[in-house]
Chain A
């Protein structure tokens, strides 16, 4: 287990001379503390797998350094790096039994047989693989195979970190939930640093203490699930996390007021020093906007449809040209298509060029 520091790390598959805009991973400096459970969240192609492969050494970075506990390991090969990684699709060694599969990473490192057996038993028990230990791995189901892959990732106790690259893609939804809880429990039991790549926000938010959101090759925010929900640092985070995502509307902001579509709403904080010429937007989660009967003092909206999610109803509305989602209070029925929107001022954030702006009290 180790602390992992990334210093100005960047990677381009097109070589170092390619323009920075085309980099798969734009320069990032960050620290992964020892023993943490991290999720790397982002849509496909945002660079999260690249970042993972850089840490494990499968890909050599175009720029920057990677430090494990302060030691620069950027130039080291994957084998020497002491890192474990689990891939999206199960990788098993066909000719070996389940037990031999689990023992493989230890055997390759010349660990004593007794120690290997003990550790394999322990991991097999944690993953419910004990009954299969002497079976040929080739004949098992995809779920069991992926469990073996997970087991091979977890079997070494001395690794700097265990990296998971969307490991539950091939697993049935029901079992997915179980395995995810299992991983979370394993994280507590084995005390390993874990980095979990996924594009599924539920997976990320349930697994990790810290969620790192990536967008277009950049790390846009890193924080607890609550932080990501309450204070998205980037409009992308607001939009990507939460279902439905955050409403982002162009607005004119002056002091404690924002003008949207010719209507003024109140803000909790004051924004006097917004950068000039920046694209100003207001962001508010659908959970904090309520639908109300139309009234002159409310922002007016046209209802397009209402989604009933069982526990809660969300209205899909249109404000001017912008689509908007808002909570429908229980018992409210709106005649016709037009309605008003009530904002919770403490939950309305202001963004300049997509980045969160801190207001003054």
Chain B
């Protein structure tokens, strides 16, 4: 049977292609273009090759120093919030009720912080932590703890971290709760029959069954915290000094503060690359964890 050759179907792809081209490919190419050039006023551009990238990856230069400092800050921040939010989320999920009207009440309460726009979260904590009018700041100072996120590095970090934990632990908890709910009742009954302690039930049943949702939670939280901008910017503005200046804040400073488009473009490309690599690692780990389930695939 002869098949009719008809290439008209390509036209159906055209709108998508145009949208993607204008919204992603062309802007990205502009950034690549910027990253290779130096800009001066009056829209003058000069070819700089890979000069900005060399400078960016050289810690002894000014740009490199700022990049690596903010990168380590960012990684440290992600590590700390993951170390707090993941265990805390698991504990919250485990202590949630399994049935009855309290389930709905818990779910709604937990979801509330997730629904608040990021700059509003920042504003809430900015005011909450102020020593003069903020409930938290005033109370802490009143009971004798010298707390001021504007002048003290540690206080600024503590505020940003607590704010992120407040904002996002719910997400981990909700994901874990979904994982817990998917465990059939028979597992708990079998564990009772087998005489398992509470801890044994957690390590032998609940944790393995939550493994996949936990991976997703870690991925989401890592990505989000690695790209964090709005909340610390609203609360601390990256200060005191540079102590809470994360990569995204640094990027905005370079691009819009100094108007160094070339440096900013190089930085944003490297930033983007880091995020893609981390995503790829997580994706690989998750698909492998999934492949474990298929019988017959032996890895000793």
Contacts and interface: CB of A to CB of B under 8 A. Distances in A.
Interface of A: 53, 56-58, 77-79, 83-85, 87-89, 91, 93-96, 104-105, 108-109, 138-141, 149, 152-153
B232 to A, nearest CB: 38
Interface string B287-299: 0000011111110
Nearest to B184: A89
B254 interface: no
B186 A139 contact: no
15 contacts: A56-B193, A78-B192, A78-B193, A79-B192, A85-B190, A88-B186, A91-B186, A91-B190, A93-B205, A95-B208, A108-B197, A109-B195, A138-B292, A139-B297, A149-B190
A26 B193 CA distance: 25
Given A85-B193, A139-B298, A104 B186 contact: no
B149 to A, nearest CB: 43
Contacts of B207: 95
A249 B264 CA distance: 92
Contacts of B95: none
Contacts of B203: 95
Given A77-B192, A78-B192, A83-B193, 14 more contacts: A56-B193, A85-B193, A87-B189, A94-B209, A95-B208, A105-B193, A105-B194, A108-B194, A108-B197, A138-B292, A138-B293, A139-B292, A139-B296, A141-B295
Interface residues on B, range: 20 to 34
Contact of B295 (A79, A85, A109, A140): A140
A298 B282 CA distance: 81
Contacts of B270: none
A85 B189 contact: yes
Interface in B94-142: none
Contact of B187 (A84, A91, A96, A139): A91
Contacts of A96: 204
Contacts of B298: 139
Given A78-B193, A85-B189, A108-B197, A93 B204 contact: yes
Interface string B175-219: 000000000101101101111110010011101110000000000
B189 A104 contact: no
Give 9 closest A-B pairs by Cβ, nearest first. A108-B195, A91-B190, A105-B194, A78-B192, A94-B208, A93-B204, A87-B186, A139-B295, A85-B193
B206 to A, nearest CB: 11
B292 A105 contact: no
A89 B184 CA distance: 10
A104 B193 CA distance: 11
Contacts of B209: 94
Nearest to A59: B189
A85 B192 CA distance: 10
B293 to A, nearest CB: 7
Contact of B194 (A58, A89, A104, A139): A104
Contacts of A85: 189-190, 193
